[in-house]
Chains A and B, each alone.
Chain A
Amino acid sequence: MNDYKIRKISKEYLTDNLIIFSQAKYIRNIDEFPFVIALNEKNAKESFSKIYKGIYESELINDFELVAIREKKKIDRCLDVFMEKTYVANNVNIARGIYINEQKRVAIFVNFKDHIKIMSSALGNKLDECYSIIDKIDDKISEQIKYAYDGKYGFLTSSLMDVGTGFRSNLVFHLPALSIIGYIDKLRDALIQIGYNFENILKENDISESHYYMLSNKFTLGVSEKEIVELLKDLSREIISKEVAARETLINSRIRVLENDIKRAYGLLKHATLIKYEEAIKYISLIKLGISYGFFNDVDENYLDKVVFEISDNYLLEPEKKVISKNDIEYTRSKKIKKCFIGD
């Protein structure tokens, strides 16, 4: 019946291609100042310069650019690049900013929810690398600054959800088959029960459900950083094998519909000149699924994994330009995505 050959998907391929984003974060506070929520303008400034001095003297400063809170568009873009949802709207006048190295996807958030949040992200399955990057930065800063730390509770944070290691690690999975066959909710419930957060990401305005999911540790106290990383990696292998099984089910049970959906997605991305964010995410996901089945050879999958994080409205807004229309954004988005088609 099939007039084409379906590629047998290897487990190695999926292990490398299902985890598309890794991230590690440390949440820290300085002992001598109140936490951000209780800062007044004066001690906010003092704490900010204290951290500046710490970063400066640790020689980290050479790698980073400082974006101040006044530059709203730039800040929003940073939050998008780092998929950071924490945004503190209160006491607006306090000194606040982000040290970023966008190329290396490393950032130090100062005076947002906590005094210091160090984060490192990477495309692909690179949690160990991200962890080691933030660990080194954390060591350097802690040589300059006395952190809020307690023998019993470990690193003290503004939220009791982060206390202890103050360490969070995230992995973003592409799970189209589990989503399509409707197993995702069960998986989410199971993960939550054993102490993990698992949520749909790449939503804009909460409209679209994407096939991209973020797994992160819920517990930060009573478990070491290394254990958190290892447990997350163990779990990721299980999730991948579930997705593998689901992909086999899918191709056996509804090949025609699936092929139709995937090839339409291909056509749309290749030919549309204006495209909305939710549409784009949906079609990119389907094309990526199609690649794994061997439907196309002219799509750069690595590029697709990267571009997924670079097509949100905030990301596409040019911070320098004052006004930009919806059409401009949709046009830029479609142009950007089209670069995934190679060869032709």
Chain B
Amino acid sequence: MKCEKCKINEATIHFNKVINDEKYDLFYCESCAKLLDEVDYDTPFSKDKMISSLMESINSSPLKVNYIVMTKCSKCGITYAKYKEIGLVGCSNCYKTFDEKFQKIISTIQKENFHLGKTPSEFSQQVDINKEIDLLKKELRKAINIEAFEEAVKIRDSIRALEDGKRHE
């Protein structure tokens, strides 16, 4: 198949494009595809995009938006505005840079805001602490479920203490 744009080269790239709810299939060669900035970050991420913009509209006060929009991740250079636009995180450091904003989003789209389960092996020296934290997190969930909030607060503080200790090691 020939490229739909230049009609010379062989089409090697397939884009799905959605315009006004209509789905279009486009077949371009690589050099034409490169020129098409608009096709970047296309349909596969619509769900992610939707969530980030939805959350933004619920959560933000105008003042904060300004501040966040100007914030840039020092590692990958992505701004919060860019994250909102594409719905995808730029790097692991973004999680620290946009922590406050991400926490809000995570708390609505995920079950909890802390990790349970597998830990990679290079964190193995921390495995014991992590296991303890895991256990405490489970207890925390139980406490919350039975609405034992005083107990829950205590458990949460122990988790925080362990996590802080880990970070300063």
Contact = CB atoms under 8 A, between A and B. Distances in A.
Among A34, A72, A142, A156, find the residue whose CB has the most chain B CB atoms closer than 10 A: A34
A198 to B, nearest CB: 15
26 contacts: A31-B92, A38-B91, A86-B44, A90-B41, A91-B40, A92-B33, A138-B118, A142-B121, A147-B122, A148-B92, A151-B166, A153-B95, A153-B113, A154-B114, A159-B89, A161-B48, A161-B51, A161-B109, A164-B110, A164-B117, A165-B115, A165-B117, A167-B118, A219-B111, A222-B114, A223-B117
Interface in A19-54: 29, 31, 33-35, 37-38
B70 interface: no
Interface stretch (B58-66, B72-80, B149-157): B72-80
A93 B106 contact: no
Contacts of A165: 115-118
B121 A224 contact: no
Interface of A: 29, 31, 33-35, 37-38, 70, 72, 76, 85-93, 113, 135, 138-139, 142-143, 146-161, 163-165, 167, 195, 206, 219-227
Interface residues of B, number: 58
Interface in B73-121: 75-78, 86-92, 95, 102, 105-106, 109-121
Contacts of A29: 92
Contacts of A146: 120, 122
The 3 closest A-B pairs by CB, nearest first: A222-B112, A154-B115, A224-B117
Contacts of A33: 91
Given A72-B12, A154-B115, A159-B89, 18 more contacts: A31-B92, A34-B75, A93-B30, A143-B121, A146-B120, A151-B115, A151-B167, A153-B115, A154-B114, A155-B120, A156-B95, A159-B87, A165-B115, A165-B117, A219-B110, A221-B114, A222-B116, A224-B116
Main secondary structure of the interface of A (DSSP, over half): loop
Contacts of A224: 116-118, 134
Contact of A151 (B40, B44, B130): B130
A127 to B, nearest CB: 16
Interface string B18-39: 0000010000001001100001
A35 B110 contact: no
B116 A223 contact: yes
A35 B89 contact: yes
B50 to A, nearest CB: 11
A157 B87 CA distance: 12
B108 to A, nearest CB: 10
A152 B12 CA distance: 42
B12 A70 contact: yes
A221 B47 CA distance: 18
A90 B43 CA distance: 10
B30 to A, nearest CB: 6
Contacts of B134: 224
B115 A89 contact: no
A160 B121 contact: no
B77 A38 contact: yes
Contacts of B4: none
B48 A149 contact: no
B6 to A, nearest CB: 15
A91 B88 CA distance: 14
B39 A89 contact: yes
B132 interface: no
Contacts of B122: 142, 146-147
Contact of B106 (A37, A142, A158, A160): A160
Nearest to B123: A149
A164 B141 CA distance: 16
Contacts of A37: 41, 78, 86, 88-90
Contacts of B86: 37
A222 B115 contact: yes
